Structure 1
Amino acid sequence: MSTFLLPKKINDKLDAAVRRFWWKPKEDSNKFFTPIAWDDLCRPKDEDGLSFKKFEKLNQALVSKPGWWMLSKKNCFCVKQLAAKYKVRANWLRAPKASNASWVWKGIEMVKNIIKLGVCKLVGSRNSILVWEDPWLLDKSSFILTPRSQVINSCLVVSQLLNPLGSGWNDNLLNELFDQESIVAIKNIPVWSFGQEDKWTWTKSENGQFSVKSCYRLITDGDNISSNVSLTRKIWKANIHERLKMHLWRVAFNLLPTKDQLREFSTSSDTSCPLCNVEAESALHHFTQCHIARAIWFGGQWNLRIDKWQIQSPTYLIGLFIDPPSSLQLDKEQRDEFLLFGALTLDMIWMWRNKAVNERSPPVEGQVIRSLQKLFLENWRPKVPELTRVPTRRSARWCCPNQGMLKLNCDATVGDLSSCIAIVAREWRGKLVFAISKKVNTNILIQAEAFAILLAVHIAINFSFCSCVIESDYKVCIDAIKSGVNLIPWRLLNFVESVKNVISDYNHVSFNWVHREAIKAAHVLANWSLNLSLFGSFDMGFDPPNFFNVILAEAFRVSVSVGHQ
């Protein structure tokens, strides 16, 4: 399936085989009860479905991977051979289909439209990206710009949109060519000082690398419309057995084969509840209104009066156990215990209902309650930990660096069209060395935080006579600098490369991730500068009052702690 596109007839047969296995695995029959559409079951688990795959779309996602290899010029033999045979050039996504191609190549070219939905060029040197034809605008749905006028230069490259110094975008040219929305999106693209190569990235994954999973989600994105995302996500993440999770999911979406569900397919006129034989059976009656079920709920260790909860639907019933009412005042362990009790009770009631239908065996309430208590103890005992580990926590306050070191705290505040970054440097006694704020042309938080760290790196290089530690509360950026290439978010690839180029010849710069309170001074300065549009250098003679108070308070705390030592 990952080599070429299969005929639709074969994909349909594969889908039918999976449907038969799920709905009626013990019989080779095409007639079975389906309380929910197959398309709904193919949704992801956190969108009400069970993550079954449609083979046609899975096939397309698998074949898209070799297409991504062709686009990104992967260094492997098969890619080189295909590129040479079919004359693949830089404009391959826009090129017409090859004639007399093999099944493999025909499949790759047929999924080009899918690849176009997720690929974008990361701006590096800017010399190989055509402004009007290549997808390069990250914050536009199609990644491609629409010209303001019909007369355009089709050979215009992105590097020609920069100012003469190459340090930023040419505002006059941008205003002449693009509308305001496009200009804002262009200015969100960083102009890095180091000339990295322009390269393709897959925007549907965190690290910019193509994956079949993300491509399949892209293809099926229009099919996934969910109304109970938070409930279903909590069901599948619950700390209970997988079989119990499946039962909770079936109850929540009213998928159990109760008599009210089967009456359209059955010739039987009997719709009474198999347990009480009084009222018509439905999922809501079966679990909350039947007097047998109410007795089982009340006989458990929680002594629940389930009929007093005014439950209107099976979904609401499951929600009560997933998110217990605040009036119960349960802690974390009690919430887990309450959920396990609810899941086991629902499963036990359904099991005895099936015995009453199939074996004509009426439930004995005392026996059911004793079985439920025994089952609860069997499932709950392994969850009691022998040793409780105390998690380590980050320091929530600013701490002075070692003697002879300089600490640079950096932070960013995002506005509607631009952002402000701030750097605050202090020495080991808490004394302010300098404070800087600067405006940057981006309204994307992750890029603004990256700009702040990069500015701190450039400043640290100028203090080569002492070691510097750079602190930020944005964990993604700090982890990106410290981690391998495969773990870096695609928006930070050029940022990380720039940082590593700057510090390649220096070993006196280190990075720490800290709590927001530990960089409070930088945070206050960035907010103040953005609100008043005042940027530049600040010292203790001219600085914002709030910033001044933070510096004094933290310096006083440091001096007191040093005095006690």
Structure 2
Amino acid sequence: MLVAFWWGTEDHHRKIHWVFWERLCLPIDQGGMGFRDLEVFNQAMLAKQAWKVLSSPDCFLASLLKSRCFLDGEFLYVSLGARPSYAWCSLLYGRELLMKGLRHKVGNGRQTRVWLDKWIADLVEGLRAPWIKNATFDVNLRASALIDLSTRKWNEGALNEVFVPSDIEYLLRNQPVVSKEDFKVWNLTRSDQFSMKSAYQLAFSEKTKVTQPETFNQPSVNSLKEKVWKVPTLPKIRVFVWKVLNGALPVADLLESRGIPYPRLGFHENSISENISYLLHLRQDRVGDSSSPRMWSWLLWVIWKARNELLFKSIMPNPSNILLRAKQETEEWFEAQTVKENLQLQLQFKPKKGKARWKPPLPGWTMCSLDDAKLVVVLWSLESMGSQRISNVVVAGEFAELFGAVERSQAWPSFLHQIEEIKRGKDSIDGCQLLRVEREVNKGATFIAQSVTKLGLMRSYVQNGHPPCSGWVAEAV
């Protein structure tokens, strides 16, 4: 139905499908139209349900499935069974995709076998086991033996003894979450949280490698097809030029290749790709006057319309009128774009309503505002407030992701180590709140902690009646 609508919207008239559906579903950078493959999308949705069962084992769906399908096993490794239901078969079909994007995350490290499990995410090779540094090693070594429980981080001394520098650098960026067992995270998002978009891209790329391996062959005209969508012209003309590059226009050569007789009218024999490539780079070469480089797409479109009028309506085209019509339509479109850009600029300069403003803290509360600081600054500030026995503290700063992860820890598995450290700091203060603010909101804060990157030092200043603490100077990491 989607294909029939794309190639022709008239009922009871079947049009020629010049490009098969799988190629239309390819991303724009691979020469396609970016249409959604419903089969792949369905698997991505099933993978989302499988992720829910994996990440929320106490939810009603997971409890029900566990009682009926994998009472004594793990969801990721349970088999289909003897008499599976349609729902269970569908869920395992989604699990098949889910397992391709999972990554092992170290918690307390008791279940992670250092040399046997694939728990290192390599940008080149994907998931793999660590590289072996020494000739002799303990095959049964667990990751828990490499964790310093006093700091709740990796023991750098132990890491240097058994790992190569590249793996050590990766582990130091991904600290363990010692308060929970080892678990799985989604490897294709920054937050390690499952997303439909990344799951669809993974499933579609796996399908494309099997069904359309020629898509990845080089050299390719895919770069030209991608540039077509950036040409400043009407959307219908962009589609027209894309059809030219994909051989999707009903011209004599293509009609004859499909067994449809059509008289040959002496078409040019040069490469279409070379011609379109020349036109796409015309603006860069500065050929002709200022209006010529941007007029070529309209000129092609008007020539195509005139050609159809000649063949189907016997209307003889006038070259002068074709050129004049293309020039007029080009100028009208660019003038409309200029008006649109001016309106957008005017809207940008208008003040936004309902913007958050800084407000002083409640009586008896202290405001701690942190500007452009990292996790170490937050932890240092919490530790400093706790050591001075200051209660009722509001820690404010531009930490949309960090503070948001504390509020919704389940949505940010990649921040679990940082979340635990911040919660420990909050527990050391009697009454502590986290507040996310914008840059303009920070200026009037009562307690300001500024991070000086160049000097590597952070100084804190206390106002509003609190005594200054000259010793509150810490080296920023």
Give the TM-score normalised by the residue count of structure 2: 0.66
C-alpha displacement of 1:317 = 1.5
* Contact 2:48-2:94 within 8 A present in 1 as well: no
Q: Which structure 2 residues correspond to residues 199-348 of structure 1 after superposition, within 5 A? A: 199-222=183-206, 223=208, 225=216, 227=220, 232-233=225-226, 235-236=228-229, 240-265=233-258, 266-273=260-267, 280=268, 284=272, 312-320=274-282, 324-325=283-284, 327=286, 339=294, 341-348=295-302
- Name the amino acid aligned to 2:46: V
C-alpha displacement of 1:486 = 9.4
Cα distance in 2 for partners of 1:351, 1:469 equals 65
C-alpha displacement of 1:507 = 5.4
- Counterpart for residue 70 of structure 1: 53
Q: Secondary structure at the match of 1:214?
A: helix
- Counterpart for residue 75 of structure 2: 92
Would you say 1:388 and 2:346 are equivalent positions?
Answer: yes
Which string of whole-angstrom CA distances, capped at 9 and with x for unpartnered residues, describes residues 142-190 of structure 1?
535268579733xx65333213635443456556766665454334322
Shift in alpha-carbon separation, 1:377–1:96, aligned structure 2, 3 A: same
C-alpha displacement of 1:44 = 1.1
C-alpha displacement of 1:453 = 0.8
* Contact 1:42-1:49 within 8 A present in 2 as well: yes
Give the TM-score normalised by the residue count of structure 1: 0.57
Moved more, 166-175 or 483-492: 483-492
How many residue pairs are counted as aligned between the two chains?
Answer: 411
- Counterpart for residue 365 of structure 1: 319
Cα distance in 2 for partners of 1:48, 1:261 equals 19
C-alpha displacement of 1:87 = 2.2
* Contact 1:206-1:490 within 8 A present in 2 as well: no
- Counterpart for residue 57 of structure 1: 40
Residue ranges of structure 2 left out of the alignment (5+ in a row): 209-214, 351-365, 441-449, 457-474
- Counterpart for residue 186 of structure 1: 171
Q: Which structure 2 residues correspond to residues 94-173 of structure 1 after superposition, within 5 A? A: 94-127=77-110, 129=112, 131=114, 136-139=119-122, 141=125, 143-145=127-129, 148=132, 152-153=139-140, 157-163=142-148, 165-170=150-155
Computed over aligned residues only, the root mean square deviation of the Cα atoms, in angstroms, reads 5.0
Shift in alpha-carbon separation, 1:485–1:95, aligned structure 2, 3 A: same
- Counterpart for residue 495 of structure 1: 418
Residue ranges of structure 1 left out of the alignment (5+ in a row): 1-16, 274-279, 285-310, 393-403, 411-451, 515-519, 527-542, 544-565
* Contact 1:118-1:202 within 8 A present in 2 as well: yes
C-alpha displacement of 1:43 = 0.9
C-alpha displacement of 1:97 = 3.5
Which string of whole-angstrom CA distances, capped at 9 and with x for unpartnered residues, describes residues 346-399 of structure 1?
32222112222222222123433454355346544543034635669xxxxxxx
Cα distance in 2 for partners of 1:171, 1:191 equals 13
Which string of whole-angstrom CA distances, capped at 9 and with x for unpartnered residues, describes residues 175-217 of structure 1?
676666545433432246x846755422223443323332221
- Counterpart for residue 41 of structure 1: 24
Q: Secondary structure at the match of 1:120?
A: strand
Q: Secondary structure at the match of 2:346?
A: coil
Q: Secondary structure at the match of 1:165?
A: coil
Q: Which structure 2 residues correspond to residues 406-555 of structure 1 after superposition, within 5 A? A: 453-464=374-385, 478-481=400-403, 485=408, 491-492=414-415, 494-496=417-419, 498-499=421-422, 502-503=425-426, 505-506=431-432, 522-524=452-454
Shift in alpha-carbon separation, 1:108–1:488, aligned structure 2, 3 A: closer
C-alpha displacement of 1:64 = 1.9
Shift in alpha-carbon separation, 1:283–1:381, aligned structure 2, 3 A: farther
Cα distance in 1 for partners of 2:383, 2:60 equals 46
